[in-house]
């Protein structure tokens, strides 16, 4: 190998070692293209709109970052999102005060996560299939308890939870997402819990032999994921002033795509909450851009699917480059 | 039929990065001959098998393979099969939920048009089962058979392909004496029909019983070859271990003190053979500052002993452990670490390090208490501890932030050892301390072990590297056939004595 080539390789490797790159590059590219097509894109209103959409995704993406970096996975987050909104909505309707209604929604989420944890950690079922099972189970329960009807016409200030704008400008979900994101990033990079989760994802056996409580940590990541998903469900219900039984349906894969494209590895051991934020923003920007560029929203799923596949390739290639192959 | 030899390997050399696995190996096998291949762990036997099975294609090694006196290009697994070569591997490889018949004829089912001819399948199977002494229903599922029966089933599958050359890898390790007899008789019958065998075995009594010829391999080369009739057991043992011991083991005996650990009535189930134990009711003790070596052949249960003591395997394990005379309950690695133990496992990649994490993160993994006081990282302490160990072990890498995946095997091993040094154990379990690492790093690992014992740490070391075992151990246990078959001290720790105990039954 000649010198120049190896130098070029080294630069390329250094770039790849910045995990968040997978989201930054396409995001930048997209912004440039959209800006040319429709200058309205950069209006303050539109930017906040994108960020608000991204916030709902990101709130679920935070614990999912932990879950994926510990080599877990969860296809039931969409169902847990719907469940959170529906439980909050139904209890509110029954006259339960708002704080308690939110707590009940989060407890319902915790129950879903606990079930996932038991199936995957205690019974050793494959996460992919097990969480697909809980997804159907939870969606089924939602259909039964709601009769598949949305819950709306809330009294009181439930709406304000998501619709209030700080300084008349910044939607509250963005604030929640930023606060939770900072806590998440701190937890992942600065605490023992974060180190243990990454170690488990990097090599479960090595972590266990080093005295890490592998099962208990994994359980926390599963429960945390479902709890955050149900919180997102509550916020989405507030945003639309309506708890939809299918509010979260179909979000599980796009959120996962956001996390992976942000630089968290499907193979475990590496994760970044900041990257997940960028990933969530990228996905929200794509949806928004499609509308602004007058592309039919029917294209959206196809494009998300494509992005997920590309993200997986980037992840795989990143791994290979790191191992020097 | 223009040659008396059915198979000849001529000057075969197989290299791996940094290691020569086979060195200029030539063997010639006649029709109807049983050739035994003996050698220590790592002598090159499994590489030889992979070449004959076509798993390593002819492009990956030097040398030639001749079949029936004609040079043949072993470019794929299919070529090997077409030449009539079949393998029976040591690890059981069966479909548990398929019938016996399907297992035997998988990929080769008798057809009637486009459907399977079940009548023929079951009658053919009955013939095959009879041949290997299995009195079972061809329609029966495999699940529920014991490991000996499964091994015989694998042999039946091999026979069903009417092979001309059969390679058997430790075929009797899962068999009872009665099953072994049946296998020996089957081999005898087939030999008379002109089938040839390569019989890889540690068990010298079987070699003398069945083989015509014996080949001894050591460090990838054929070092001895003779007719079985004209060799003695002593001669074979000598050939298996007879390498020169170089001067790289600077064992410095430490002050040996009181007993620190006593293991009593340790029984560990066999990892793959259901219903059998790999070690049964063994007891031993370890003293302060001592290196207790554990020798034995692969599969004797040495690693399992360490894993069971450390609480890494617990299912079906029974044990009584006493630390400094106090009975302790160790049910997980965490318990073991709390009691001052560390465990360097044999398989670095699977259980030793995290390959996508940095040297720093790997080194501090077993002492998270120190670097996360109150749960939040103390970066300075972490950096200090990692840098200190990095220098002490002289790890060759750009910095402590280098990922493990970019290190050589020797440096990875240093990181794994360093991880346990940072947890400051009083008892260190080490499985194959220098497996797959270069000579220079080996000497450094020995130096660290000496330093540890001098500071009062006790070590249990499992090793397949004879010179290492012999020169580093203060005392040496040998495991064979579920039990401790030898306990050697001082000048009795010799390669001959270890090998004799290791093949004892």
Residues B199, B120 share a domain: yes
Least confident of A14-23, A262-271, B104-113, B489-498: A14-23
Distance CA A106, CA A88 (A): 9
Closest residue by Cα to residue A56 from A223, A229, A188, A224: A229
Question: β-pairing, B291-295 with B458-462?
Answer: parallel
Is the pLDDT at A2 greater than 50, yes or no?
no
**Comparing A126-135, B248-257, B382-391, which segment has the lowest mean pLDDT?**
B248-257
Range of A111's domain?
Answer: 20-320
pLDDT at position B248 is 59
| Residue A49 tokens, joined | 């709109």
pLDDT grade for B267, boundaries at 50, 70 and 90: very high
| B495 and B466 both lie in a single domain | yes
| Contact (CB<8Å) A210/B406 | no
Last residue of a domain, one of B212, B241, B270: B241
pLDDT above 90 covers what percent of chain A? 46
pLDDT of residue B2: 56
Q: How far B56 CA sits from the closest chain A CA (Å)?
A: 21
pLDDT, average across residues A75-84:
94
Whether residues B397 and B455 fall in one domain? no
Residue A3 pLDDT class (50, 70, 90 cuts): very low
Q: Which of A192, A195, A211 sits opposite B333 (nearest CB)?
A: A211
* A10 lies in some domain: no
pLDDT at A191: 94
A299 domain residue, yes or no = yes
pLDDT of residue A4: 46
Domain span at residue B454 reads 245-340+425-505
Chain B residue at shortest CA distance from A192? B375
Please give the residue of chain B at the shortest CA–CA distance from A318.
B356
How many whole angstroms separate alpha carbon B289 and alpha carbon B454? 6
ipTM for the predicted complex comes to 0.83
**Residue B420 contacts A, CB cutoff 8 Å:** no
**CATH number where A229 lies:** 1.10.3470
Question: Are B79 and B114 in a shared domain?
Answer: yes
Checking if the pLDDT of A32 tops 90, the result is no
**Mean confidence (pLDDT) of chain B:** 87
Mutation for B interface: A206, A215, A220, A267, most B CBs within 10 A:
A206
From B128's Cα to the closest Cα of chain A, the distance in A is: 38
Could you tell me which chain B residue has the CA closest to the CA of A270?
B356
- Which range has highest mean pLDDT (A152-156, B242-246, B446-450)? B446-450
Task: Output the six-digit token pair for A294.
Answer: 């007058």
Residues B115 and B15 in one domain: yes
Which residue would you say has higher pLDDT here, A242 or B439? A242
CB contacts of B351 in chain A (<8 Å) are 203, 205-206, 209
Out of B334, B354, B361, closest to residue A211 by CB: B334
Chain B hits for A192, Cβ within 8 Å: 368, 372, 375-377
Domain identity same for B171 and B227: yes
Q: Would you list the DSSP string of B284-324?
A: EEEETT-EEEEE--TTSSHHHHHHHHTTS--TT-EEEEEET
Mean pLDDT of A221-241: 94
- pLDDT level of residue A18 (50, 70, 90 thresholds): low
CB neighbour list of residue B133: distance below 8 Å, 6 or more residues apart = B152, B179, B182, B186
Q: State how far the Cα of A47 lies from the Cα of A34, in Å rounded to an integer.
A: 13
pLDDT of residue A263: 82
Measure the CA–CA gap between B257 and A94, rounded to whole angstroms: 73
Q: Who among A191, A202, A319 is closest to B357 (CB)?
A: A202
A-chain CB neighbours of B403 within 8 Å are: 322
Q: How far apart are CA A269 and CA A77, in angstroms?
A: 21
pTM: 0.75
Nearest to B356 among A196, A202, A205 (CB): A202
Cβ–Cβ gap A322/B350 under 8 Å: no
pLDDT, averaged across chain A: 86
Q: Are strands B165-169 and B5-16 parallel, antiparallel or unpaired?
A: unpaired
- Collect all residues with Cβ–Cβ distance below 8 Å to B52 and sequence separation of at least 6: B7, B9, B65, B74, B80, B85, B87, B165, B167, B198
Q: How far is A18 from chain B (nearest CA, A)?
A: 14
Instruction: Kindly determine whether residue B357 and residue A209, on different chains, have CB atoms separated by under 8 Å.
Output: no
Q: Per mean pLDDT, which range of B78-82, B185-189, B236-240 is the poorest?
A: B236-240
Query: Are B365 and A206 in contact (CB < 8 Å)?
Result: yes
Chain B residue numbers with beta carbons less than 8 Å from the beta carbon of A322 are 356, 403, 405-406
- Is A15 contained in some domain? no
CB contact under 8 A, A211 and B366: yes
Average pLDDT on B259-269 reads 94
> In this structure, are B66 and B117 located in the same domain?
yes
**Over 60: is that where the pLDDT of A310 sits?**
yes
Greatest mean pLDDT among A34-38, A108-112, B57-61, B500-504 lies in A108-112
CB within 8 Å: B354 and A202:
yes
Q: Nearest CA to B430 among B339, B335, B306, B308?
A: B306
What would you report as the CA-atom Rg of chain A, rounded to the nearest whole angstrom?
20
CATH of the domain at B162: 3.40.50.300
Determine the pLDDT at residue A300.
Answer: 76
Which pLDDT does position B186 carry in this prediction? 87
Regarding whether B404 and B332 lie in a shared domain, the answer is: no
Pairwise CB contact (< 8 Å): A199 & B334: no
Residue-level pLDDT at A298: 77
Q: Is B361 within 8 Å of chain A by CB?
A: yes
d(CA A229, CA B318) in angstroms, rounded, equals 44
User: What total of structural domains would you count in chain B?
Assistant: 3
Question: Bridge partners of A166?
Answer: A170
pLDDT grade, residue B42 (50/70/90)? low
| Inter-chain CB proximity B377 and A195 less than 8 Å | yes
Cβ atoms of residues B460 and B292 within 8 Å: yes
pLDDT of residue A187: 94
In a domain, A7, yes or no: no
Put simply, the answer to whether B334 touches A202 (Cβ < 8 Å) is no
Give strand pairing partners of B38.
B216
Q: Which whole number is the average pLDDT over B391-402?
A: 87
Residue B235 touches partner A, C-beta closer than 8 Å: no
- Asked if residue B192 and residue B74 are part of one domain, the reply reads yes
Nearest chain B residue to A265 by CA distance is B356
Give the orientation angle of helix A273-292 with respect to helix A172-190, to 10 degrees. Answer: 150
State mean pLDDT over B474-483. 91
Q: Are B220 and B20 in contact (CB under 8 A)?
A: yes
Chain B CB contacts of A265 under 8 Å are 356
Q: Which of A94-103, B80-89, B140-149, B414-423 has the lowest mean pLDDT?
A: B140-149
Question: At B297, is the pLDDT very low, low, confident or very high (cuts 50, 70, 90)?
Answer: confident
Q: Do the Cβ atoms of B361 and A195 come within 8 Å? A: yes
Residue A202 and residue B366: Cβ atoms within 8 Å?
no
Split at pLDDT 50, 70, 90, the class of A73 is: very high
DSSP conformation letters of B189-234: HHHHTT-EEEEE-S-HHHHHHH-SEEEEEETTEEEEEEEGGG--HH
If one compares B474 and B407, the residue with the highest pLDDT of the two is: B474
For residue A295, the model assigns a pLDDT of: 78
3-state helix/strand/coil string of chain A: CCHHHHHHHHHHHHHHHCCCHHHHHHHHHHHHHHHHHCHHHHCHHHHHHHHHHHHHHHHHHHHHHHHHHCCCCCCCHHHHHHHHHHHHHHHHHCCCCHHHHHHHHHHHHHHHHHHHHHHHHHCCCCHHHHHHHHHHHHHHHHHHHHCCCCEECCCCCCCHHHHCEECCCEEHHHHHHHHHHHHHHHHHHHEHHHHHHHHHHHCHHHHHHCCCCHHHHHHHHHHHHHHHHHHHHHHHHHHHCEECCCCCCCHHHHHHHHHHHCCCCCCCCCCCHHHHHHHHHHHHHHHHHHHHCCCCHHHHHHHHHHHHHHHHHHHHHHHHHHCCC
Given this model, what pLDDT does residue A44 score?
Answer: 81
Q: Which of A189, A197, A211 to mutate to test the interface with B (most CBs of B within 10 A)?
A: A211
Instruction: Please count the other Cβ atoms lying within 10 Å of the Cβ belonging to residue B436.
Output: 15
**Domain tally, chain A:** 1
Mark whether B371 and B404 lie in a shared domain.
yes
- Cβ contact B377:A195 at 8 Å: yes
CB B147 within 8 A of CB B273: yes
Residue B405 touches partner A, C-beta closer than 8 Å: yes
pLDDT of residue B364: 94
Asked if the C-beta of B357 comes within 8 angstroms of chain A's C-beta atoms, the answer is yes
Give per-residue pLDDT as tens, B1-20: 457 889 989 999 988 766 67
> How far A278 CA sits from the closest chain B CA (Å)?
23
CA–CA distance, A123 with B246 (Å, rounded to integer):
52
Is residue B242 scored above 80 in pLDDT?
Answer: no
The residue among A18, A70, A114 whose CA lies nearest residue A268 is A70
- Looking at the structure, tell me whether residues B420 and B434 fall in a common domain: no
B353 or B40, which is more confident?
B353
């Amino acid at each position: 190998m000649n010198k120049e080539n190896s130098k070029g390789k080294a630069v390329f490797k250094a770039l790849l070692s910045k995990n968040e790159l997978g989201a930054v590059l396409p995001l930048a590219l997209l912004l440039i293209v959209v800006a040319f097509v429709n200058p309205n894109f950069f209006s303050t209103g539109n930017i906040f709109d994108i960020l608000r959409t991204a916030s709902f995704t990101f709130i679920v993406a935070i614990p999912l970052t932990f879950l994926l970096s510990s080599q877990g996975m969860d296809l039931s987050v969409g169902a847990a999102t719907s469940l959170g909104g529906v439980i909050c909505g139904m209890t509110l309707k029954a006259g339960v005060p708002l704080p308690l209604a939110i707590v009940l929604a989060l407890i319902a989420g915790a129950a879903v996560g606990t079930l996932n944890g038991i199936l995957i950690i205690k019974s050793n079922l494959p996460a992919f299939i097990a969480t697909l099972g809980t997804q159907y189970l939870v969606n089924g329960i939602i259909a039964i308890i709601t009769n598949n009807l949305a819950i709306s016409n809330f009294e009181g200030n439930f709406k304000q939870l998501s619709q209030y704008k700080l300084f008349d400008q910044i939607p509250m979900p963005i604030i929640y997402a930023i606060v939770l994101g900072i806590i998440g990033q701190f937890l992942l990079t600065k605490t023992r819990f974060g180190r243990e989760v990454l170690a488990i994802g990097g090599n479960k056996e090595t972590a266990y032999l080093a005295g890490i409580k592998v099962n208990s940590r994994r359980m926390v990541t599963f429960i945390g994921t479902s709890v955050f998903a149900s919180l997102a469900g509550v916020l989405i219900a507030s945003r639309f002033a309506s708890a939809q039984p299918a509010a979260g349906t179909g979000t599980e894969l796009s959120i996962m795509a956001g996390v992976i494209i942000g630089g968290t590895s499907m193979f475990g051991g590496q994760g970044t909450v900041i990257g997940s934020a960028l990933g969530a923003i990228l996905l929200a920007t794509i949806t928004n851009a499609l509308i602004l560029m007058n592309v039919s929203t029917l294209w959206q799923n196809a494009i998300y699917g494509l992005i997920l596949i590309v993200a997986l390739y980037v992840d795989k290639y990143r791994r290979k480059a790191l191992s020097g192959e | 039929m223009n040659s008396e030899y059915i198979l000849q390997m001529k000057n075969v050399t197989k290299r791996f990065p940094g290691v020569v696995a086979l060195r200029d190996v030539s063997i010639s096998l006649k029709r109807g001959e049983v050739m035994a291949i003996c050698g220590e762990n790592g002598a090159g036997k499994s590489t030889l098998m992979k070449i004959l099975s076509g798993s390593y294609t002819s492009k990956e090694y030097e040398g030639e393979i001749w079949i029936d006196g004609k040079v043949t290009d072993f470019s794929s697994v299919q070529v090997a099969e077409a030449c009539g070569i079949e393998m029976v591997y040591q690890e059981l490889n069966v479909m548990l939920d398929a019938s016996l018949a399907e297992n035997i004829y998988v990929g080769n089912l008798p057809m009637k048009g486009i459907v399977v001819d079940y009548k023929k399948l079951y009658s053919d199977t009955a013939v095959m089962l009879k041949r290997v002494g299995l009195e079972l229903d061809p329609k029966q599922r495999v699940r529920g058979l014991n490991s000996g029966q499964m091994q015989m089933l694998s042999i039946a599958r091999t026979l069903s392909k009417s092979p001309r050359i059969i390679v058997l890898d430790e075929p009797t390790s899962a068999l009872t004496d009665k099953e072994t007899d049946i296998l020996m008789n089957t081999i005898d019958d087939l030999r008379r029909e002109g089938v040839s065998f390569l019989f890889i075995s540690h068990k010298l009594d079987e070699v003398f019983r069945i083989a015509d010829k014996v080949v001894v391999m050591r460090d990838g080369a054929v070092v001895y070859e003779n007719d079985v009739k004209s060799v003695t057991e002593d001669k074979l043992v000598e050939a298996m271990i007879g390498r020169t011991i170089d001067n790289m083991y600077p064992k410095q005996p430490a002050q040996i003190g009181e007993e620190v650990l006593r293991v009593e009535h340790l029984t560990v189930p066999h990892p793959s053979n259901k219903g059998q134990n790999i070690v049964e009711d063994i007891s031993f003790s370890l003293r302060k500052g001592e290196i207790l070596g554990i020798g034995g052949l692969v599969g004797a249960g040495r690693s399992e002993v360490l894993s069971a003591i450390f609480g890494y395997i617990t299912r079906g394990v029974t044990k009584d452990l006493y630390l400094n005379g106090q009975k302790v309950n160790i049910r997980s690695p965490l318990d073991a670490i709390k009691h001052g133990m560390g465990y360097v496992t044999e398989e670095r990649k699977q259980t030793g390090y995290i390959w996508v994490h940095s040297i720093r993160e790997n080194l501090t993994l077993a002492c998270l208490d120190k670097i996360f006081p109150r749960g939040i990282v103390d970066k300075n302490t972490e950096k200090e501890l990692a840098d200190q160990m990095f220098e002490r072990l002289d790890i060759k890498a750009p910095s402590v932030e280098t990922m493990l995946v970019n290190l050589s095997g020797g440096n990875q091993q240093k990181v794994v050892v360093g991880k346990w040094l940072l947890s400051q154990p009083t008892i260190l379990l080490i499985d194959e301390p220098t497996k797959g690492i270069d000579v220079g790093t080996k000497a450094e690992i020995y130096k660290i072990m000496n330093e540890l014992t001098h500071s009062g740490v006790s070590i249990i070391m499992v090793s397949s590297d004879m010179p290492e075992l012999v020169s580093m151990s203060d005392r040496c246990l040998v495991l064979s056939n579920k039990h401790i078959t030898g306990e050697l001290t001082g000048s009795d720790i010799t390669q001959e004595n270890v090998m004799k105990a290791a093949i004892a039954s």
